[in-house]
Structure 1
Amino acid sequence: MFTTFGNRGTMHLGLCLRVLILVALTVPIRAAQPAQETFTLTVPNGPTSTLSGSSVSLLCQVSPLFNVEPLEVRWYHSSNIHSPALLYKDHKIQETPVVPRYRGRVSLTGGMERGNVSLTLERVTLEDRGEYVCQVSSEQWYEKASVFLTVNVTGREPVLSVAEARGGGGGQVNVTCSSEGWSPQPKLTWRNKDGAEIRNEQEVLNTSDPQGLVSVSSWLLYACSYSDWLACTVSLSEEAKREGRILPHIYTAPTAVPGVYKEALIVTLILSLVIICALCSVILCKRRGSMWSSSQKSRNRSDQAELGQRPADQTELGKGPAETEHLIKGAENTVQTPTEQRAAGEEFNLEGAENTVQTPTEQRAAGEELNLNDWHHVKIFKVNILLDEKNAHPAIRINKGKRAHYVKEKDTEKPSRTHLHVFSEERFSSGQHYWEVKVKDGTTEKLSWYVGVARENVDKRPAVPLTPQNGFWILSYDKEQGFHVNTDPQPPITVAKLTIVGVFLDCDRHTLSFYNVDTKSLLYTFTDVKTSNYFPLLSPGRCDKIPIKIN
């Protein structure tokens, strides 16, 4: 009986050992070899979106899940079937044959032992967009699936303009909105000042440039208004959008008000010309009359001298002929010479009077036409400005596209002589635009800064001075020199207190004005700012690290 029990125990023990060995041998074999002769690929249903310059993963998963390390994985763009973006073969990523622009930017980071063959693409460019094919192959089977990649590029701020409506009637104007540099095709929306969307019956026009970036434009008829905003928004999403605003009114004359038509404008201009001509005639008549009176007096005195008569105010009647002749000759000298001097003096005074009448009139007319003296009028054209960090001087740090400050330049004991400023992302080619730059924060005063605009493609070499002739129009401050603009000569600008600088650019009239927002007063106006595209710029200066920022 003891022997029987021992044999049965030994049999059970051997059976258990065989089962354990079988399990141990089976598990690694299944993990090391594909368990499926056929399989499918799972990819996203819709397109995969990313921003230009970022990284993205194009998802691709083998189903059912198994280790695909022994298999071949190939990713390629649909436009280049024979040259892959990535090729995995013989348990490693192959260096060739692949498209050169993908080298160093692609990898398989999904976990191939779990059947994940997703492609990670770094530093995405606009050229990377399109259809990508994921292909997985074994000796018995292969499968492929497509993933679509869209690269989002946020375009420029919309440019709005107003023109006379033809056939619109009812005091309507034609408002146009256009923006460029988008990818993919953006959405354009019109809204009124209350934020309500305006349904535009006109179609939105989209065009593409050679780089594949989309330009969008639209127009609509709108009731002419001096106070109601009209906004145009171009967007890819809530995070990627640009907006421009405008008052839907045509600024045709300095005295233009709602209800004034062309006929009234023509009458006003004619009356102005008549008044100016009348003033000129009066001035000329006075001038000629004064000259005639002086000449007549001179003739009378000369005639009296020739007849041997003395002026009534001289009492030398008791003198003899010789003395009389001497006095007459003296009278001729004392009368004629001062007369000529007085006549010349009166003529000079008349010219001075003409200057004092005409010049302020011209100045007032110009000021009214440009609407520059009233800060409350220009501030309504305020736009959103973002600083372009990619085009900033290496010694400038940008925070959230609004704040700029100077940092000590590296690898040199002396500051470089290159111009230290940063341009905006926005460029303007038409319309009116106003923005503000805060140059003082609290009680801390900066030692130097400058703000203004520059034309497109300016010469950035250090030897090129920042002048209007070279495409720069700026207002500068230096603690030792004070405020000045970059004209030659540089006129000094007296400012008691300045915290915020207002900048108003009128592309249509080619003017650039600077304002003291603290006192709501005009500081200076450039009147010949002519170029096709304008870029706002600012400089925090080299002397301190105190920031300046777009308000």
Structure 2
Amino acid sequence: MLLVVFLSALTPLACDAAESFSVLVPRNPISARAGSTVTLPCWLSPPISAEPMEVRWHRSPSFKTTALHYMGGQLQDSSQDPRFRGRASFGSRGPEAGGLKGGDVSLRLENVTLEDEGEFQCNVSNVLHYKTKRVVLNVTVTGTLPLLSVRQATDGLVNVSCASSGWHPRPNLTWSDSEGRSGLSPGAMLYGPAEQGVVSVFSWILTPASDAAWLTCSVFLPGEEGREGRVALLTSRADTHTHTRTHTDDQSGQWKAAFIALLVLGLLAMAIAAFLFVRKRRTGSNESVEIPESIPLLQTGLDEAAKEKVDITLDEDTAHQHLMLSKDCKVVRDSVMVQERDPSKNRFTRHLFVLGKEGFTSGRAYWQVGLWNEATGLKMSWSVGVVTESAKRDCEDLTPSEGYLVFSSDRDNGLSVNTVPVTRLSEKLRAKTLGVFLDYDNNMISFYNVEEKSHILTFFVTFHEKVYPLFGPGKGDATPLVIQPISDVKQESNVNTVENPNDKIQSLPLPPDNSGLETTVKYSLRPN
């Protein structure tokens, strides 16, 4: 009899130790950006303590390899998947969740990657009960700023193309214009192959050149802030020639022009799509896209930009110690020898860069950079762009978020822009003279091939502070980088063969070549 009473007294205690519970998780998938930290909620109901229980987070369908394993009051590292080491821990689904003691067994995951996307299982068990629920994680990756180009079609029509890379999942792309019209119908929408988890998108639209001052291409993921590029159509209603026609003739002409343009541009789009995404280079979650070739602007494009010309002088106080500047501070190249200069907090220490003295907080500015020399040929290594006043001069990773927008040429890897992911352009876009047009008020910066009078690319960026022109001559390139006097540029001829009796000669020594001999490059500049 005493034994029965004793066992009866123990029974409630055993039941308490193995109290029944349920596991709850959100109904909808959890979304997170690559590189961010995310919490996958999972909690017990009623909110009893999970400290004496076993908690196992794992990826479906694997059960043995865990993202996080808790048992016996401590984490079990031996069974953890190496991909999650140092990144997975218990998180909180809310400020009043109470942690493990309050039944919150949520998984916190840092530095989210595309490989993390998918289904996670939340398993909780005690002596008598085993419960499991699944949580789906969606990972998003924001791609590059859209690159836009304009091509004159026929009969007042222009074709505007837009390309962007490095997105996950497949993004949406929309067109709008300066007149407030959105949802414009594109001529095509093409997606590149999903290599290493990210995709690229390309679209073009056919529109009358006089309908709007500019077009905007927006690429975005549903529910997230996207990226936007804008390009001026570079023509005006006043310049548009009008012809008096009957209604029938006008409709016929428009349909004929549209048909021819669509036929030609359709073939162009297919050709571009075939190799737009051919060469890609990616580190981590980064990707690169190659833009095939320069597309000519309307004739007034570069001429209009050049009206905003400014005189840029290199600022020696910012020049890296291995950069050599001419006396007039218009030419720069790299130097094997350290140049003795006074210490300056604004001096570049990691990259072979120098800034222009002139900074901008409003308005428009246009300057030109000479990248060709008759003696040494086309310059293959250089960097040109803008940088914010507050950007760190010893910054190792040059990205727009660090205050740098840099268009670069590398002898081996071609042309690129320091977006995240990196945007790569066709080597056919290399220019002898590079035109740079900054429209601070409209948040735009454009690059031109001056000799061909063609547009290379335009970025639509938001400026929050003063910006300065940035120049880098690269390393080991025999051709110097020259701040080109705009008045001296001949659009139809080689810019470095201008002869003038008033020219003055500057020279900078080059590093030794393979023969061990030192040579000198000469170039011609008119007096300022």
Q: Scaled by the length of structure 1, what TM-score is found? A: 0.45
More strand by share: 2
Higher relative contact order (CA 8 A, sep 6+): 2
Q: Scaled by the length of structure 2, what TM-score is found? A: 0.47
More helix by share: 1
